[in-house]
Amino acid sequence: MKHRRTTPNIFGRAKQLHREMTPAEAKLWKHLRAHRMGDVHFRNQHAIGNYIVDFCAPRRKLIIELDGSQHLEQENYDEERSAFLKSKGYRVLRFWNNDVMNNTDTVLTAIWNTLKHEDESS
């Protein structure tokens, strides 16, 4: 099957990651899925080009990435990835796994404020 936004291999990997979410991803997904963040539709483990993002609201062009300790050693990769996604018109929000697990309300407020600010500026 041909995919417009990625390759079949990347799409298959995204499906696998969807089934194997981290605890932080699963916790945030409970709040984002099924239009629970207003009328915004989020997808998890969404493939764009050669990258798989944790959460994406395609119509709102918003990506949410959760970072664990491994991201401390891959700062250049994360910057390159964010630059690619921004070149495609996406805004990228990053949160630490620890914040999702221990400060969920703060993370949700930041996401909500980003979506609300977008609505006010359109």
List the CATH number of the domain containing 44. 3.40.960.10
| pLDDT tens digits along 31-40 | 999 777 888 9
Is there a domain that residue 3 lies in?
no
Would you say residue 1 has pLDDT above 50? no
DSSP per-residue string spanning 12-74: HHHHHHHHT--HHHHHHHHHHSTT-BTTB--EEEEEEBTEEEEEEEGGGTEEEEEE-GGGGS-
**Domain membership flag for residue 107:** yes
In a domain, 1, yes or no: no
Domain residues for the domain of 37 are 8-121
List all residues 6 or more positions away from 26 whose beta carbon is below 8 Å from its beta carbon.
none
Residue type, 19: R
DSSP-derived 3-state class of residue 82:
helix
State yes or no: pLDDT of 46 exceeds 50. Answer: yes
How much is the pTM? 0.80
